[in-house]
Amino acid sequence: MEPEEKVFRRGRRIAVDVGDARIGVAVCDPDGLIATPVETVPAGGRSQARLKAIVEEYDAVEVVVGLPRSLNGKEGPAAAKVREYAGRLAGLLHPVGVRLVDERMTTVTAAAGLRASGRSSKKGRSVIDQAAAVVILQSALETERVSGRAPGESVEPVN
């Protein structure tokens, strides 16, 4: 029996790191090789409209939303908020798909990267969410590349 061929879907993906105050946004190239920061969107009333504009601007094929979990994998109130947000976003972006992926430790990883580049936490606040979105997207791309399957779970649209 021959090994199953792994397939990587081509197309730009957008990743979002949803927070109470800000939403970090990152995008990858069409070949899914590297994720780069895009912007930080203020959380609140107009955030989803801005995310829709970004998805359209980059002609994204999918949006990856980081799902916060505790270190033991459990979901708390923050995860419930993100699930609700992702459902509304999926309804707004349909037919562009929205997926939830595990984002444990992404902000910690992003903050460490910023510190290593010489940025202080205070100066890095404006980009920490973007950096976390980059970590989320790069991890999702690598998972798909290795497994040949889309990472995380698909989100059903909510209107």
For the chain, give the mean pLDDT: 87
Q: Partners of 24 in the beta sheet? A: 17, 40
Question: Alpha carbon of 155 to those of 61, 93, 119: distances in Å?
Answer: 14, 11, 35
For residue range 61-107, list pLDDT tens digits in order: 999 999 998 777 788 899 999 999 999 999 999 999 999 999 875 55
Contact assessment for residue 41 and residue 19, using Cβ atoms and an 8 Å cutoff? no
Q: Is 38 left (phi over 0), alpha (psi -120 to 50) or beta?
A: alpha
5 part of a folded domain: no
CA 147 to chain centre: 18
Pairing of strands 62-67, 13-18: parallel
Provide the pLDDT for residue 38. 97
The pLDDT score that the predictor gives to residue 45 is 87
CATH code at 118?
Answer: 3.30.420.140
The pLDDT, as a whole number, for residue 156 is: 94
**pLDDT average per 10 residues of sequence, the chain (159 residues):** 69 95 96 96 95 98 93 86 97 97 68 60 70 93 91 90
- Domains contained in the chain, number: 1
4 assigned to some structural domain: no
pTM for this structure? 0.86
Residue 35 domain flag: yes
- Decide if 62 is inside a domain: yes
141 vs 63: CA distance, rounded Å: 12
